[in-house]
Amino acid sequence: MRFTAKTTSLAVASALIVFGCGKEAPPPPPPPKAEQPPAPPPKPTLTVKIGHSSPLTGPQAHLGKDNENGARLAIEEANAKKLGIGGAMVTFELLGEDDQADPKQGTTVAQKLIDAKVNGVVGHLNSGTTIPASKLYSDAGIPQISPSATNPKYTQQGFKTAFRVMANDEQQGKVLGDYATKQLAGKKIAIVDDRTAYGQGVADEFEKAAKAGGANIVAREFTNDKATDFAAILTKIKSKKPDLVMYGGMDAQAGPMAQQLKKLGVKSKMIFADGGCTTEFHKLAGDAAEGHYCSLPGYPLDKMPGGKVFMEKYKAKFNVDIQLYAPYAYDAANVMIDAMQRANSVEPAKYLAELPKTAFDGVTARITFDERGDVKDGAITLYQAKGGKWETLETVGGAAPAPAQPAAMGGMSGMTATPTAAAAPAVPAVAPAAAPTTPAEKK
């Protein structure tokens, strides 16, 4: 034990002498690492439900699906941006419902969307469904933006929740009536409508403008939005020898009506509003489509600020051409999302206050609303059927559009990107149009 202790002491002493003679001591241990601040908690996520309603079955399904596609494209693009609203990461979900273009089904669907606690509604397509549904949305405090319902009554009811992104039939009917009397020199005009909120509404507005322009309304007939046989009506009209036949309704009736006019030997051209201004009219009418006239709210797709880009995106996504209202449904959804961002809230009561202040650069136009919820500066464009397409004649009203985009237009209603024409020829003399399609109650 003594030897061991002595030896140990000598070893320690020797080590001290060695280190004292210029040898470095081992480095001190590193200081303890500073604690990293805890990672911020992930933002809460929030699912925002946006309802959409249009006819997805029946004769107007091609138009209803077109609307739904436009809204869906807007929703998917918004989700790709990973938007934060009110401190939460937002995921938008589109709840699509089929209202069958039927007013009763429209209210059933509206209540279903309300019960699902949607934050807003894009729709409906038809005035006949939009107007009754709007009361339910108003009572529930849910904002509603229609991309295609054009009957003036929709926004004349005083509901603070009701908006639309295309010109209404007061504007469209007047433009059509003026064009019929001034550019087409129509003096004797027959009018047929389908008794829907849209068809009768636009026909009434047309009649006012045509009478103001000096025309004599030689016949005022009506059918319904399911009919396909118009022989009795058109036989009566033939005896009146009208210069023009105005139809208030959808392409499903306009197409067959054009065919039957031709079969009866009636030389009068038809003139109608957007419900018949589709590619389906050409399919259903065939060679009887040639020479007829129609109008659409808004600019031709190639003259819309974002028309060409939208057309390409739409085709790439859905592998079909635009039928009619998809750009407006796209804008309606984006206007709603924009209001949520500006309000920093997805709660209907909060972002509803931002909708009247909208100044949104959409695909179709710069969108602002008047005190009723109608889009300001709504343009109306007139077309004529030529060679299986709708050829642009002229645009009336609206703010100046963006410069025309290059490349021919090839989507919306099959219209061609022709320069604005001067006045159309005087009252047509030959060939009615044939009819296709099968819509029910429209705008």
pLDDT at 29: 73
Q: Where are the domains of the chain?
A: 45-167+304-367, 170-302+379-414
- CATH number for the domain whose boundaries are 170-302+379-414: 3.40.50.2300
- CATH number for the domain whose boundaries are 45-167+304-367: 3.40.50.2300
Structure-model confidence comparison of residues 363 and 37, the more confident one: 363
- Which of 33-37, 66-70, 225-229, 343-347 is least confident? 33-37
245 residue type, one letter: V
The alpha carbons of the chain give a radius of gyration, in whole angstroms, of 32
Residue 22 has pLDDT above 70, yes or no: no
The whole-number average pLDDT for the span 108-134 is 97
pLDDT at 171: 92
The rounded percent of the chain whose pLDDT value lies above 90 is 77
The rounded percent of the chain whose pLDDT value lies above 70 is 82
Structure-model confidence comparison of residues 24 and 35, the more confident one: 35
DSSP-assigned states of every residue in 61-112: HHHHHHHHHHHHHHHHHHHHTT-EETTEEEEEEEEEEE-TT-HHHHHHHHHH
- Which of 140-144, 159-163, 288-292, 434-438 is least confident? 434-438
DSSP-assigned states of every residue in 284-303: HHGGGGTT-EEEEES--GGG
The whole-number average pLDDT for the span 155-164 is 98
Each residue's pLDDT tens digit, 72-94:
999 999 999 999 999 999 999 99
Q: How far is CA 437 from the centre of its chain?
A: 20
443 residue type, one letter: K
Pairing mode, if any, of strands 120-123 and 45-54? parallel
pLDDT at 34: 65
31 SS3 class: coil
Structure-model confidence comparison of residues 5 and 185, the more confident one: 185
pTM: 0.80
* Paired residues of 220 in beta bridges: 191
- C-alpha 314/C-alpha 364 separation (Å) is 14
Pairing mode, if any, of strands 293-297 and 380-386? antiparallel
pLDDT at 417: 32
